[in-house]
Amino acid sequence: MNNKRSWLIPLGMWTVFEIVAVTLWLAKDNLFYLLNFSYIGTSIALGLFLFQRNYKHARRIVQLLVGSYMLLYLGLICRENMQIEGFWYYLFTGVFEAATIHYAVAKIFGPLLFGRGWCGYACWTAMVLDFLPYKVPQSPRKKIGFIRYISFAAALVFMASLFLSHVGNIEQIMFWAFIIGNVLYYAVGIILAFAFKDNRAFCKYICPITVFLKPMSYFALLRVKCDKEKCVSCGKCKRVCPMDVDVTDNSRKRENGTECILCMECVKACPKKAL
């Protein structure tokens, strides 16, 4: 990788985030958005730069920088519920603030551009799950993905009933919902990872956010593609994929195509540099 190119992609990504940061800062007259999106954009740009320099922990560094910032600073210190309940909460109240903006950028419209980059580089649930021992799934995929729709509906019903019952102190409830929700996600995620020998089992079957992420990432601009001229069908890319994607198929209907988290493990493993 020449020096010029190794700067170009990180700089491009950093610029996209800066445009969002400055636009929201000026539109909302709130310096928080400038600092928030600048921090996230700089972390991602740093990760991309390190990846291009073949640093093997590049993705983990971004995950830790962004994931812990969102969980510890935004969630626990600023008390912003960034779980799916928080999204419904701010949507119901008609407030276009941090949680709704976060969902719009990272999970609803952003995936049209960068697919499920959120899942590979920023999610604080996966940040912990990725430390577990089953980085590559050691059991076949289960047909229980319908559970994601149940957890999605449960979060919606929970928030709707809070609003309809006009409970007081809803901000406090949202804060505790964030803590309890995260503890539950981690507990279920860790148990499933060991039960199915698959770190990303929670992402595949339970996570309610995939109800947004999967259909939007189907149209993603940024995708891993296979150069058929170079590919020798050795199958290494599929064997290292944490999400069971058939990345050698370039069609949008590739097997588990909407599961790709852009982790680039397949790219690193390909002996022919076909990806």
Q: Which residues bind ligand SF4 (CB under 6 A)?
A: 119, 123, 125-126, 202-203, 207, 209-210, 224, 226, 231-237, 241-243, 245, 247-248, 260-266, 269-270, 272, 274-275
Q: Which of 274, 151, 163, 129 is nearest to 208 (CA)?
A: 151
Choose between 34 and 137: whose C-beta lies nearer to ligand SF4: 137
Q: Which of 34, 83, 37, 106 is nearest to 184 (CA)?
A: 83
Choose between 34 and 213: whose C-beta lies nearer to ligand SF4: 213
Choose between 28 and 218: whose C-beta lies nearer to ligand SF4: 218
- Residue 215 parent element (H or E): helix 210-217
Choose between 25 and 242: whose C-beta lies nearer to ligand SF4: 242
Tell the smallest beta-carbon distance from residue 123 to ligand SF4 (Å). Answer: 3
Q: Which residues contact 211 (CB under 8 A, 6 or more apart)?
A: 148, 149, 152
Tell the smallest beta-carbon distance from residue 169 to ligand SF4 (Å). Answer: 28
Tell the smallest beta-carbon distance from residue 212 to ligand SF4 (Å). Answer: 9
How far apart (Å, rounded) are the C-alpha atoms in residues 70 and 274? 35
Choose between 20 and 270: whose C-beta lies nearer to ligand SF4: 270
How far apart (Å, rounded) are the C-alpha atoms in residues 67 and 131? 13
How far apart (Å, rounded) are the C-alpha atoms in residues 75 and 99? 10
Tell the smallest beta-carbon distance from residue 262 to ligand SF4 (Å). Answer: 5
Q: Which of 120, 127, 80, 77 is nearest to 102 (CA)?
A: 80
Tell the smallest beta-carbon distance from residue 239 to ligand SF4 (Å). Answer: 8
